Amino acid sequence: MKKFLFALLLALPFAFGAQAQQKIGVVNTNAIMEELSDVKAATTKVQELAKQYDGEIKRMQDELKAKLEAYQKEEATMTDVIKKRRQQELQEMEARTQNSYQMMQEEIQKEQEKHMAPIRTKVINAINKVCEAQGCAYIFEAGALLAMGSSALDLTQAVKDELGIKAGAAKPAATTPARSGARK
């Protein structure tokens, strides 16, 4: 995938040479997502769910640990039949704990996707709207570019404005590099 992106980026100047009048825009979606209050709210909801699940898993692990310790204390006095039955109970309990952990991880991922999908759609729509308003033929993700020419428009702030992200909430300049003379 990286080789493909590299080859694509190398070919871009040649592909656009005949169409030099077309504008190319660049957007730093990470900087945008970091500042969206919707993302912060979604992250909080997912973290609350993860915390709840962590508590449930910890309870199951503590119960398993207690039963294992009880088994180890009583093992010397147990008959072989009871030993095998208790070992099987412990194995089943461990398997249930592992299955529960996996199911909870999947639920957390589903919950995250449920909250983030509409946010991503909202950001993409804002990017498309700004792209159209600025007359850009192409938009690229700033984080995926190895190099960017001075003629590329950094549309990150325009997209933030479109989404209603206040300028005072902006991250330091290192997060979204300024492009002096980039807008013509």
Low-confidence ranges of the chain (pLDDT < 70): 1-21, 145-151, 167-184
Q: Are 22 and 138 in contact (CB under 8 A)?
A: yes
Q: How far apart are CA 105 and CA 84, in angstroms?
A: 32
Q: Give the domains, in start order, of the chain with CATH numbers.
A: 2-169 (3.30.910.20)
- 163 is written with which tokens? 């989404």
pLDDT single digits (tens) 94-145: 999 999 999 999 999 999 999 999 999 999 999 999 999 999 888 888 877 6
Q: Are 119 and 38 in contact (CB under 8 A)?
A: yes
H helices of 75-167, in order, are 80-134, 156-163
Q: Are 153 and 183 in contact (CB under 8 A)?
A: yes
Q: What is the pTM of this model?
A: 0.65
